[in-house]
Amino acid sequence: MLRSDDSPFEPRLPPAQLTGTERRRVQKLVCRPDGCVSSSGLYQQLIIDGRSMSTSAVSPFHRRGDATTGSGAVGNSYEDKCRRSLAEEQAKSLAETNNWEHVDRERVHRDWDVLYREITGFLEGGSLPGDQQIQELVRRHFNIACRFYTPSREAYVGMSLFYAEDEAMRAFHDSYHPGLVEFLGAAISVFAEQKDGFAPSADAQAPA
């Protein structure tokens, strides 16, 4: 049973190719006795407590500063902005839509599953995150997330950071392929820099 505050950042259909033991391990990580873990609840708690998520599990693909200026500090500052954007935009959307009551969650989770299988096939075939066919799949990933609300560029990158940093989310994605989190994170970074369709960031909306 899915709880009313399920988020677009938490697909829960374990891949069919997993063995029974592996599937139960992933389900145990992602779900709790009182229902499946909600990333929205986690992020709301982060806002309340004023805590930041650990960056120990972040892939090098996410270190924007290292890739652009050679400065890890720049990357960390950008990542923190993305985490905050994800948390704030998601909390705002939840409040405005009665916990996303308009979303067909069962269909969303099925669509995540189909999409991740397709991405895994290209990953195993040697595709790169910036390849056109991968970016088309990321567009589908973005469109699924937009069924809940349209994120800013920063919030969308924040989603990929959450995939990498949260133990259950990393386990789920890596159950499709051990390199999926890193690959998807890099592909989302390219998409966020080059594509359109995002909501304005909080900074862009702020008065001068």
Query: CA gyration radius for the chain?
Result: 16
Give the Cα separation of 40 and 161 in Å (integer): 14
Average of per-residue pLDDT across 38-51: 33
Task: With beta carbons less than 8 A apart as the criterion, state whether 138 and 191 touch.
Answer: yes
- Percentage of the chain exceeding pLDDT 90: 60
Average pLDDT along the chain = 73
Q: Is the pLDDT of residue 40 over 70?
A: no
Give the Cα separation of 83 and 70 in Å (integer): 21
Q: What b/e string do you get for 142-163 counting C-beta neighbours within 10 Å, with b at 16 or more?
A: bebbebbbbbbbbbbbbbbbbb
- What does the pLDDT look like over 102-133, one tens digit per residue? 999 999 999 999 999 999 999 999 999 999 99
3-state SS of 16-65 is CCCCHHHHHHHHHHHEECCEECCHHHHHHHHHHHCCCCCCCCCCHHHCHH
Give the Cα separation of 183 and 193 in Å (integer): 16
- Who wins on pLDDT, 50 or 170? 170
